[in-house]
């Protein structure tokens, strides 16, 4: 017969063995746990990603010209060209390059206001039968003509400005015009061809002097307006089928019996 201590020691060993077998059985029946999988961040975006387009270069809008005219078509700087001829009207006699059509000396003066040519409109005169139309031969190549004008038209159809013409039924003109039907004083760029009129106009800016310019490119003529002689507003273009022969200055009233009023021309410039 075993002694009591030996009996207890055997029991302890059997108990530990049972616990070990039970733990082993549980471990064999449970599924093995899988190691955690780490998803790495790709170095590039998947192919389905659409990248943003490259940033475009911002082009600022042009600064609008300093003018009260709001119907601006475009802003165009004066072309870089050679000044061929200029008359500042600072002498007491006109340059020999000028030719009067319908000369009436009582309605024009170089001395009434120093440094200006004053032409007073003549009642019932028009392009077809002009009075004091001041012209010179048309340049052979493309060109630009320009003037600075003070005129206050008050009745239909007071007009003063630049003229490019063949005759009274075929011409292009740019100037200040009064039209009651159109709301009063305008800056008008007109074409008359074979007796038919085409006109472009804007409301006249509220200031004493305006700058006017016509550029010729072949058979196309562009009309410009400026408040300061620096920033130019393109009023429009006219293409003609006739061949002009002369350029210059013109005043009239469209054959209306109107009040006669003065137009002050500061200078006339020809460039090409």
Q: What are the tens digits of pLDDT across the range 116-166?
A: 999 999 988 888 889 999 999 998 899 999 999 999 999 999 999 999 999
Asked: is 83-271 a CATH 3.90.226.10 domain? The reply is no
The tens digit of pLDDT for each residue in 16-44 reads: 444 443 434 444 444 444 443 433 333 33
Q: C-alpha distances in angstroms, 213 versus 37, 44, 120, 188, 234?
A: 80, 61, 21, 12, 9
- The domain ranges of the chain are 83-271
Q: Does 11 have pLDDT greater than 60?
A: no
Cα angle vertex 121, ends 116, 123, to 5°?
A: 165
Average pLDDT, the chain: 79
pLDDT attached to residue 80: 57
Intra-chain end-to-end CA distance of the chain, in Å: 141
- The model's confidence at residue 81, banded by pLDDT at 50, 70 and 90, is low
């Amino acid at each position: 017969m075993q002694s009591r201590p030996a009996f207890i020691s055997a029991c302890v060993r059997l108990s530990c063995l049972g616990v070990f077998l039970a733990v082993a059985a549980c471990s064999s029946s449970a599924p093995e746990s899988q190691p955690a999988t780490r998803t790495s961040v790709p170095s590039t975006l998947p192919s389905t990603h659409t990248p943003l387009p490259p940033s475009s270069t911002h082009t600022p809008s042009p600064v609008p010209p300093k003018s009260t005219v709001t119907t601006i078509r475009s802003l165009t700087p004066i072309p870089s060209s050679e000044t061929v001829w200029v008359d500042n009207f600072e002498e007491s006699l006109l340059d020999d390059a000028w030719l009067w059509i319908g000369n009436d000396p009582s309605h024009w003066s170089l001395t009434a206001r120093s440094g200006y040519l004053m032409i007073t409109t003549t009642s019932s005169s028009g392009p077809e039968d002009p009075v004091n139309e001041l012209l010179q031969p048309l340049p052979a190549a493309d060109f630009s003509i320009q003037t600075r004008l003070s005129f206050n038209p008050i009745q239909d159809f007071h007009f003063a400005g630049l003229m490019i013409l063949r005759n009274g039924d075929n011409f292009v003109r740019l100037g200040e015009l009064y039209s009651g039907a159109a709301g009063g004083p305008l800056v008008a760029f007109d074409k008359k061809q074979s007796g038919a009129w085409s006109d472009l106009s804007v409301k006249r800016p509220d200031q004493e002097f305006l700058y006017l310019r016509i550029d010729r490119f072949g058979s196309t003529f562009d009309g410009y307006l400026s408040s300061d002689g620096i920033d130019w507003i393109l009023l429009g273009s006219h293409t003609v089928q006739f061949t002009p022969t002369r350029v210059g200055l013109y005043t009239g009233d469209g054959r209306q019996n109107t009040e006669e009023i003065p137009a002050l021309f500061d200078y006339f410039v020809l460039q090409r």
